[in-house]
Amino acid sequence: MKVAPSLLSCDFAKMGDEIVRVDKAGADMIHLDVMDGHFVPNLTIGPAIIKSVRKYTSLPFDVHLMIEHPLDYIDAFADAGADIITFHVEAESDIRETIEKIKSRGVKPGVVVKPKTPAEAVFPYLDDVYMVLVMTVEPGFGGQKFMADMMPKVGEIKAEIKRRGLGVLVEADGGIAADTAEAAARAGVDICVSGTGVFKAEDAAQAIQFLKQF
């Protein structure tokens, strides 16, 4: 598995240094959670913060939009330095239009599903996206318990990707750490988002290498 440490669990007062720390520790990409206080009950960072920390690493920025109207903000996040932009199929924006907008900016598009949304919701878009993100917690807050019952959904999506002969990656986000990574990998997760599991670990490099072994 590739590892995308989530900045939601970093020390926000030292965000640039925290990015450098996990970059040196072997992270494959940096996961940035954007919340608007409407789609999910929390507020986090926006394009200005992402732009300001872009200079701290050359790793891909994996920007997860947990916002009601993602289409309205694609330009802002592309300008800020996003390499991948994922957005929720449950959001208000037209899904295909949003995917095309992301592609038009030279950014890789991805779709996200909440725990209660079935796997089939992403099937119509598999031919057009780089990644599918399966939430393994309810989106909005870090440090939640991994929902193992989401692994069959990962398997369903992975099976459909293989059936069509596509190279779409499956990412999982929520509660993935040393004790849950093997189950995620076995289900077919290609990229694991790990916030607490990396940033709160005694040794970030050791934590990342452990996750990568699966």
Give me the active site residues, please. 33, 173
Query: Do residues 169 and 130 touch, judged by C-beta distance below 8 A?
Result: yes
3-state class (DSSP) for residue 194: strand
Beta strands in the chain (DSSP E): 2-5, 30-35, 61-66, 84-88, 108-113, 131-135, 169-173, 191-194
Judged by DSSP in three states, 51 sits in: helix
The CA distances from residue 117 to 86, 122, 149, 195, in Å, are 16, 9, 13, 23
Q: Is 81 helix (H, G, I), strand (E, B) or coil?
A: coil
